[in-house]
Amino acid sequence: MGKFEKDGRDLLRALGGKDNVSAVTHCATRMRFVLNDPEKAQKKAIENIPAVKGMFTNAGQFQVIIGNEVPDFYNDFVKVSGIEGVSKESAKSAAKQNLNPLQRAVTVLAEIFTPLLPAIIVGGLILGFRNILEAVPMSMLDGKTIVEASTFWSGVNGFLWLPGEAIFHFLPVGITWSITRKMGTTQILGIVLGITLVSPQLLNAYAVNGTSAAEIAKNWTWDFGFFTMDKIGYQAQVIPAMLAGFMLVYLERFFRKHIPEAVSMIFVPFFSLLPTILAAHMILGPIGWTIGSWISMVVNGGLTSSFNWLFGALFGAFYAPLVITGLHHTTLAIDTQLIADFGSTNLWPMICLSNIAQGASVLAVIFAHRGDKREEQVSIPSTISAWLGVTEPAMFGINLKYVYPFVAAMIGSGVAGLFVTLMKVRANAIGVGGLPGILAIRAQDYPAFLIAMVIAIAVPITLTLAFRRIGLFNKIDRIGEELPVEVQEAPQDFSTAVHAKTPIASPLEGEILPLEKAQDQAFAGGLMGQGVVIEPTSGRVTAPFDGEVSLLFPTKHAIGLISDEGIEVLIHLGMDTVKLKGKYFTAHVKQGDHVKQGQLLAEFDLKAVKAAGYSMQTPVIVTNSHHFQVDPTINTLNIKHAETIMQATPI
């Protein structure tokens, strides 16, 4: 009998049986299921399965976190269920059956904007910093701004406009590239199309309103003899770029089917790109600009009308539920359009406050459950993550689990949203959606936004503790009642002395970061265990201690080890690198080998992996953190092989 056969049978039963499982696959840490009826999944029963460390639903897939033993679990599950596994991509395709048309549209929108987020966020921080330099009078400078008082900072301010303009004015280039990337067509054509929307030959979109129709007709038109076309740019415009990008994709797909392969290299790009550019400037651009303007006017109108307090309160309260559904991705396009049309957005400040409120509720739970070391491994990183703009660990790991903190955060966010709406607080850009978000706020709105931040922290904390005390919205965490007992794996018999600390050396060279900086939320939220993240600068992977290779994934992107003291460590090389199917990775050990600290485990081609579009950010996780107190020792930004990155102490 396999190690996980019983757990596999229990999981199959809790998922609703064989008939309810449409597809199953796994990655390095999780079982991924596509369920015919997700409502049949009995989450409480799944939580009580010893091998299960957590679960969540994403993009139509029901994901069950197992840890570094997931290959063995998967094999035993397939054996007892009789269900044949599929590839990861096939599972994603099958998962679409669980998405309605709106969810599918939102998923596409999210997949378009997600690759752009790092640039948009850093652009927001840059513009926020410029805001402080050029728009905030300083009493210590006799009422002058920093730019007015300092030649150096004036130069810095001017220089920083270079990346700011590149990110926001040329946003259509990123959008059209991302659409072609998402839809699997020629990405360079998407980039060229985007450039034609923001070319210096065109009248800048920001100058259109200040240019008369007569001047546009005289100086900013193409004259084709029997008709003319305006030379209008679409800087920072979202919808025109999206319409043009999708037209390019579908034209390329059409012509690839109908043009012989021998000449496709010449004629497919020609017949796809030129008609799209023409349509973008003649039809799609004007239509998209109009639609975008309507949307931004409706939102801005709602937030500046006599009923703005109601709009602000409702949006502030219900933004967090939008995150659960994925609909929150639509607000990014609206924010961008508001900034393009009005120079600032009154929507983003409420989004920032919602993130702060979710983190505040988790902080209250930490206080209420102080001493619960196991929960703190999730709750403390989740609070930090939420206050730095990523709320999923806080919501899924703590607040939705207990419900009452989530409701408290919604109310606090609603009150803060009402306040900033009444005070007419606006943001110059989209920034980090947490405490650093104040950098994106207009300088004159700093005092009001600071008060709103206090509201977004104080109200959720107060209500979370009050709801817990009176039992409101609370069925599983009442004062005087014990929390439900979780079924744990039987403690292992470790030979280590009770308080002996075991150092864990770095398996990589590179930049070391706290775990909450991990790009994958399952790692960042501590669901897999505690540890650190390394951005490698070389492709050598060495053993962090003396022990045994307990897992070597077939794609060589994940290595599990057990130290002689019983510490289980997972080295997950890169994000989504499972899709490379072992390409660029070379293993120098095999599963079951005993290794010495510093011994070469694997190598990878860092440049090739990055060129293929994958991040090599590597979580190094102690997966049995419930048996060990894990203390990261991040004393330097850059780490080398054999330097200690963690200490593990038996609990």
**Which residues share a beta bridge with 407?**
none
CB burial string 36-50: b at 16+ within 10 A, e below:
eebeebeeeebbebe
Task: Give burial (CB, 10 Å; 0-12/13-18/19+) of 230.
Answer: middle
Instruction: Count CA atoms closer than 13 A to 498's CA, side-chain side.
Output: 0
Q: Which amino acid is at 454?
A: V
CA distance 149 to 158: 14
CA distance 547 to 568: 9
Helix H or strand E segment including 560: strand 558-563
Confirm if 276 and 241 have CB atoms less than 8 A apart: no
Q: Residue 231: what are its φ and ψ, rounded to 5°?
A: -90, 75
296: nearest Cα among 243, 234, 344: 344
| DSSP character at residue 282 | I
CA distance 568 to 492: 12
Strand ranges, E, within 387-515 = 502-505, 510-514
Strand ranges, E, within 481-523 = 502-505, 510-514
CA distance 46 to 597: 37
Confirm if 373 and 629 have CB atoms less than 8 A apart: yes
Active site residue 352: no
Take residue 281 and report the two structure tokens written for it: 């400037």
Question: How far is Cα of residue 142 from the mean position of the Cα atoms in its chain?
Answer: 43
Confirm if 428 and 127 have CB atoms less than 8 A apart: yes
Instruction: List, as one string, the DSSP characters of 13-72.
Output: HHTT-GGGEEEEEE-SSEEEEEES-GGG--HHHHHTSTT--EEEEETTEEEEE--TTHHH
Instruction: List, as one string, the DSSP characters of 68-86.
Output: TTHHHHHHHHHHHH-PPP-
Q: Which of 15, 21, 24, 27 is catalytic?
A: 27
Count Cβ atoms below 10 Å from residue 83 Cβ, excluding itself: 16
Q: Would you name the residues annotated as active-site residues?
A: 27
